[in-house]
Structure 1
């Protein structure tokens, strides 16, 4: 059977080539994602190895007991080691050198910053890594290239950042921190590790006293240890653990590098999962092509299978042969997909490197990429070919040898019953999620959507057949007999035509769903910014906005009010919630929060959002909030309409009670006096901030709204690009179905040509047939996509969505593109059909 399967594939490659391409496109995304993330992990693994290579033992805050900082590998942690602890560690047996280290939360500014402070808090860019200089290469992980190490008032930069920023030895380097800007003289350049591979970051070193002064802390964040020759680093780490404070740990440099790499890999695996999800969508669409292909192949080979059965081949052997053919196709296609995916990863890494520098390691094909590619490709192809294989194994030998064998049609009764049941179940579950006030309604909407889509897919034939019948008159008037023949071809093979249209339907449905969701999200964003009466929002590119910067803003002429806002996590009845603290006496002048009553009426209490109300808390209740620095009992005095931004809302004074000095201003709003020119005021305030707070920026609401909408458009573009694979596969499915259909109808086409049908008419007949299926799939996909996207938006009402925005422009674009795609998909099948030799076509057995 295996030899027969190989011969069948080898002798008839054309009928399977588009199926193989469909599978290859699906698995290429998986291979590309795994290769890309593997190279990224390799690059950062090399960075972590270089960072900790020369340090035998690292003493640091224990991550399990420390406050989470969001997992930012570039974030500075709390300084908990007093200088005396460094001395205690140095006195441990086996320790050769112990040096305290501190990282400054700041940025190295380019020399041309001057008074022109950055005004775009979203500009981002590589982070600055600023440390104290020990002068020991194994501790600093850097060696001097030019100049010397820094003393008080001096700085050294890495060999790439100094010229990249525009500095030379002797220049004055500006360092911006929360406390303002300070100048340092550049006295040297260093190379980090062996190749200065900093993944785009700027590396700087200061003298001990300067680093402590900028950090505003006399303590150290970690202690780097070199052990004596012959000493065991793990044993020394264990001894150090006995003399350091609770909540800290001693770990070898090797283990620390491995730990950092593992943490990064945990993040990157979500990228792979994201890619696998889209690959599954593509392969799900491809499954329709595979089913169609093998069903047509089985029909065309019915007589062949009858002869095989007549000479003793069993039904199970026929089934096995077809499944073996599917495996051969899957392996070949998956191999092509792996190659394509690797090339795609190479291109993507080169593109990323143009913008952020060389952050990748060696671009190798990981074993998990190969396993996922072959596993998914083979599984989907096998499952898709299973039903046609079972059908082939059940063909009676005598019936198969009859002339009419290939014309038998399996009824659609079971398909219709299952489709109706799934569609009804899906619709009911969606209704439950929208109207029964259930917890997390979007989960019900999502589950119902899956069942509904599968049900509609199975019922597509019931819609397509009457539609083709209804269109027959219109197509006849438009295209004459060619249009009539096209409509008849669709009607007589409803299962095949429906599967072909359904493949396109799935892709268009997902695009329409995403477009509906993102357009509705943009409406929410626009509505939110329309709620503000503030002229500016205040941000810091470094993190929290310093109180000093807000004081500078408040002192400027024409500024009427400055509103602070901070966030923290608090516990209520054992449940963790996000809390927002605001200046209650002025916030209503800056932003129209949807509260009852107005925020100024909070009266020292707390406002609650829907998720807290769902937990049983009501207005008038007394609640105890457990914050980072204390517990506060407050009365619930009002409600917030959504849980989008936070669950609990308090006045700034209550926020200080909960968080103490750790309450930081994440952002602010500025209200100007009536009659002030906004642009002039922005320039005036920014100039006042430039000297001491150059990283604090003002943004007008319109600019932020534009940025938010651009981000949403970018998200739509990325998802659409990922879904493009599914759409390409769907178009290939249309072409594949038509191509195999032409082969199946060879004699029919020959007879049509013999009675006078022109080549151009054959071409037009196939093209119209393709366009009808493509447009039908697109329209059905748009109806489903907009409907399900609307249901999802309504289910997310608690997150700020208050209405559905239909993306009419996108829907028009999809319809036009579908018609074009139908024409393109028909080119090859139509060409083949129009070039058939009339006599040979009439004489064929097909």
Structure 2
């Protein structure tokens, strides 16, 4: 019976299946994509360590040169290779940087095949790189970026700029690297790029006589060096990559679940309408002897069939989604070499089960309602349920909203709560508000939809009034349909508020604190530091009156660091500077001096200094992250709260030419000058350093926000999924509504209503529902967005801003959505034959 019912109402249930498909497609697609990424990176890690016996490193950060020589002479060691790389920017010819998209170009040491530890890479064209003036290029990079043997390349690293000649091409490397692969003879690489204090890590191949317990033997012979079996390191790296990629999976799955959540309202609404339309049919079945349980079970089985079909199609669509993502990544310069589909048992079974369960649960309440139908209902109107009382659910909803607001108010006003605790409380309050709003929404919709109907329907006369009346006839249906859109718009509004607030906060920070005329920095995403030679070039530029540099080093002052890392494996750091910062930064509540040119001096936030018992004129120990004694630094000045300077700034000269030298970690140069040609002079001075950009403080702030905005744009694109599901919900409701009101529409046609007027009536109803959903979503989103931003004010988001233009666009978009959603149902309504409809 259930199968016959599904086939009989296949047109009505088609859009419900689509709602299930969209949610499960995203969940399965996310899981498949993550599995595909895992496979690519697993392969890359395994390939890089294939044939390697052990990897040597040091807890002190560097294997000292003497320790390395002793390792090479060990009888247990057959060969060693440096295991290092340096991020670089590569340009061809006249300072024309190669655009690698999201990829990072790297320079690595190269060994001839006979000297290679692990998988050898041979020269396939040209000659081996020799000395400090030649490099070889990965064959894949050469092909992609048009590099040939004999070309001159400009290579900028964190310390300097070099010109190298391409001597040869190296066999193509598999994996997920999308930058330019540059290789230099190992001895030359070590001379130029390895630290003068030693090397970071070394690949080891053991001699045949010591293969059994190579790691144990080496550890005993060289206790100051740490050895790890390559197989163990490969497993650890693979685990770290999987952990990092799990965020991508959670992130994408979360949006799939949002789509499914939105879909639950559509599914429940659809089955509720189908049950209402089939009351006579159910009543006749009850009269013929079918029990309540059997009737309920038949509707549940229908939902089960829909859920299984929708979920199965969703899994197939998820596989297609993976192909689309991989294609887009390839077009954006991020190809995944040898990427698979990522088809696993979990990526199929989890979405299949999830979509089916969600569908059955959503249909449970309508199924129970179907089972409660009495035989006498066969003689009643199918719309008898439409006027049921809203009092109980409105009261419960109001209690939920007020309770949620109370929790949010407590979290926002609590002074002694941590940011995490307050954010969790706001999340609980937000959930209570959303659930409460869903329950109370039918009551809210009666006056709001009535006003919207009168305003929208005014130009359409009697048709507009009729449309406004129709939307208010079943407030439960209207509210449930609109709520799918409410959720999507609420999320978009909240994220839009976050984006506007971030921009406003950064703008306020820059305008209130930075008094430098120009800020010099690396690429906008902060992925590359300023080369070491740039400060001298800037200092000698005509028109520069004063300048300051800001870098960072892994040191502590009296046991304190300026930035504490959230992860124990990542060292904390302290900012180091040169120049008189009072000339470049607008400081408040100052005391003492702020000239950080001399060595062994530092400045600190006044409250931070007081909390640590520091006093101006007193000296405190400076210690490297691995315990190196770097001397004493004297506190020379204190300042009021500063988001730019943070807790403290140490003079760069304090760590100069030590193991904690900050030269390669420079993030910004602040410049002041009165010369009207200062900007072109600066741009000319740094033109040869391809990565340095000259910006005003406002431009610099905008670049920082733009990188975050790009990330938020991805969120908008993903949230569009929930809006698409919501549109399907409106189409679904209108289509079923047209079927339900077939006699009414036929009567209107019989008394002279034109087809165009019927289409207008259905379209106006659709626009009312969409606008109601958008308006309530905006109110909900702004309220919850404000609450979260108040909690995050301690993180620097002090200036809460409302994206008014975006909200207006959302409302206009909602109106367009309503019109689009009405096209098919309105067309079907207009085609209703008057006499046939009345006869039914």
Same fold, TM-score > 0.5, yes or no? yes
**The 10-residue stretch of structure 1 (270-279 or 201-210) with the greater mean CA deviation from structure 2:** 201-210
Closer, same or farther: CA 144–485 of 1 in aligned 2, 3 Å: same
Distance 2:8 2:98 in 1: 66
Closer, same or farther: CA 45–189 of 1 in aligned 2, 3 Å: same
Distance 2:305 2:750 in 1: 39
Number of aligned residues: 810
Shift of 1:281: 1.6
Q: Which of 167, 191, 195 is 1:187 aligned to? A: 167
Q: Which residue of structure 2 aligns with residue 34 of structure 1?
A: 31
Alpha-carbon displacement from aligned partner over 1:434-485 (angstroms, at most 9, x marks no partner): 2232321343333322221222222111121123444565566532332232
Q: Which of 328, 336, 341 is 2:313 aligned to? A: 336
Shift of 1:12: 1.1
Query: What pairs up with 1:719-758 in 2 under 5 angstroms?
Result: 719-758=715-754
Closer, same or farther: CA 561–473 of 1 in aligned 2, 3 Å: closer
Alignment of 1:496 onto 2:480:
no
Q: Which of 279, 294, 317 is 1:317 aligned to? A: 294
Work out whether residues 521 and 692 of structure 2, in 8 Å CA contact, stay in contact via their aligned partners in 1. Answer: yes
Q: Which residue of structure 1 aligns with residue 380 of structure 2?
A: 403
Shift of 1:746: 2.2
Q: Which residue of structure 2 aligns with residue 550 of structure 1?
A: 535
**The 10-residue stretch of structure 1 (407-416 or 543-552) with the greater mean CA deviation from structure 2:** 543-552
Q: Which residue of structure 1 aligns with residue 568 of structure 2?
A: none
Distance 1:843 1:66 in 2: 90
Distance 1:110 1:632 in 2: 43
Q: Which residue of structure 1 aligns with residue 647 of structure 2?
A: 648
Work out whether residues 155 and 161 of structure 2, in 8 Å CA contact, stay in contact via their aligned partners in 1. Answer: yes
SS at match of 1:82: helix
Query: What pairs up with 1:577-726 in 2 under 5 angstroms?
Result: 580-583=574-577, 586-592=580-586, 595-597=588-590, 600=593, 607-608=604-605, 628=625, 629=628, 641=641, 648-652=647-651, 656=655, 661-664=660-663, 665-686=665-686, 690=688, 695-726=691-722
Closer, same or farther: CA 517–752 of 1 in aligned 2, 3 Å: same
Closer, same or farther: CA 307–221 of 1 in aligned 2, 3 Å: same
Distance 2:810 2:503 in 1: 20
Closer, same or farther: CA 26–586 of 1 in aligned 2, 3 Å: same
Closer, same or farther: CA 102–83 of 1 in aligned 2, 3 Å: same
Shift of 1:270: 0.6
Distance 1:66 1:324 in 2: 65
Shift of 1:275: 0.8
Shift of 1:290: 1.0
SS at match of 2:221: coil
Work out whether residues 51 and 141 of structure 1, in 8 Å CA contact, stay in contact via their aligned partners in 2. Answer: no
Alignment of 1:522 onto 2:503:
yes
Alignment of 1:768 onto 2:764:
yes
Alignment of 1:304 onto 2:264:
no
Shift of 1:827: 1.8
Alignment of 1:133 onto 2:129:
no
Closer, same or farther: CA 502–625 of 1 in aligned 2, 3 Å: farther
SS at match of 2:670: strand
Work out whether residues 572 and 624 of structure 1, in 8 Å CA contact, stay in contact via their aligned partners in 2. Answer: no
Q: Which residue of structure 2 aligns with residue 391 of structure 1?
A: 369
Q: Which of 372, 396, 404 is 1:418 aligned to? A: 396
Shift of 1:24: 1.2
Query: What pairs up with 1:765-844 in 2 under 5 angstroms?
Result: 765-844=761-840
Query: What pairs up with 1:532-547 in 2 under 5 angstroms?
Result: 532-540=514-522, 543-545=528-530, 547=532
Closer, same or farther: CA 104–293 of 1 in aligned 2, 3 Å: closer
Question: Unaligned 5+ residue runs, structure 1?
Answer: 68-76
Closer, same or farther: CA 647–668 of 1 in aligned 2, 3 Å: closer
Alignment of 1:46 onto 2:43:
yes
Shift of 1:697: 4.8
Alpha-carbon displacement from aligned partner over 1:401-449 (angstroms, at most 9, x marks no partner): 3324651343223311221111001111221222232321343333322
Closer, same or farther: CA 6–678 of 1 in aligned 2, 3 Å: farther
Work out whether residues 626 and 658 of structure 1, in 8 Å CA contact, stay in contact via their aligned partners in 2. Answer: no
Alpha-carbon displacement from aligned partner over 1:805-827 (angstroms, at most 9, x marks no partner): 22121122111121121122112
TM-score, reference length from structure 1? 0.86
SS at match of 1:466: helix
Work out whether residues 119 and 698 of structure 1, in 8 Å CA contact, stay in contact via their aligned partners in 2. Answer: no
Work out whether residues 98 and 223 of structure 1, in 8 Å CA contact, stay in contact via their aligned partners in 2. Answer: no
Closer, same or farther: CA 780–165 of 1 in aligned 2, 3 Å: closer
Shift of 1:317: 2.8
Q: Which residue of structure 2 aligns with residue 759 of structure 1?
A: 755
Alignment of 1:478 onto 2:471:
no
Alpha-carbon displacement from aligned partner over 1:100-144 (angstroms, at most 9, x marks no partner): 31535253733414xx48699x98743223214254255463012
Distance 2:102 2:762 in 1: 53
Alignment of 1:356 onto 2:353:
no
Distance 1:451 1:334 in 2: 29
Distance 1:669 1:646 in 2: 13
Work out whether residues 99 and 134 of structure 1, in 8 Å CA contact, stay in contact via their aligned partners in 2. Answer: no
Shift of 1:779: 1.4
Work out whether residues 537 and 686 of structure 2, in 8 Å CA contact, stay in contact via their aligned partners in 1. Answer: no
Distance 1:819 1:301 in 2: 32
Q: Which residue of structure 2 aligns with residue 19 of structure 1?
A: 16
Alignment of 1:212 onto 2:191:
yes
CA RMSD of aligned residues (A): 3.7
Alignment of 1:561 onto 2:540:
no
**The 10-residue stretch of structure 1 (446-455 or 693-702) with the greater mean CA deviation from structure 2:** 693-702
SS at match of 1:107: strand
SS at match of 2:675: coil
Q: Which residue of structure 1 aligns with residue 88 of structure 2?
A: 107
SS at match of 2:229: strand
Closer, same or farther: CA 648–839 of 1 in aligned 2, 3 Å: same
Closer, same or farther: CA 828–547 of 1 in aligned 2, 3 Å: closer
Work out whether residues 268 and 362 of structure 2, in 8 Å CA contact, stay in contact via their aligned partners in 1. Answer: yes
Distance 1:769 1:452 in 2: 27
Closer, same or farther: CA 103–585 of 1 in aligned 2, 3 Å: closer
SS at match of 2:736: helix
Distance 1:414 1:459 in 2: 9
Work out whether residues 86 and 100 of structure 1, in 8 Å CA contact, stay in contact via their aligned partners in 2. Answer: no
Alignment of 1:443 onto 2:419:
no
Work out whether residues 579 and 647 of structure 1, in 8 Å CA contact, stay in contact via their aligned partners in 2. Answer: no
Shift of 1:209: 4.4
Work out whether residues 153 and 166 of structure 2, in 8 Å CA contact, stay in contact via their aligned partners in 1. Answer: yes
SS at match of 2:393: helix
Distance 1:450 1:609 in 2: 41
Shift of 1:255: 4.2
Closer, same or farther: CA 144–579 of 1 in aligned 2, 3 Å: closer
Which contiguous aligned blocks of 4+ residues in structure 1 show a shift greater than 6 angstroms? Answer: 77-81, 117-120, 601-605, 615-626, 631-637, 657-660
Closer, same or farther: CA 348–804 of 1 in aligned 2, 3 Å: same
Shift of 1:398: 3.1
Shift of 1:233: 5.5
SS at match of 1:356: coil
Q: Which residue of structure 2 aligns with residue 452 of structure 1?
A: 433
Distance 2:761 2:691 in 1: 66
TM-score, reference length from structure 2? 0.86
Closer, same or farther: CA 86–295 of 1 in aligned 2, 3 Å: same
Distance 1:616 1:298 in 2: 68
Closer, same or farther: CA 681–447 of 1 in aligned 2, 3 Å: farther
Alpha-carbon displacement from aligned partner over 1:230-270 (angstroms, at most 9, x marks no partner): x8966434433433334612313x44444333322211111
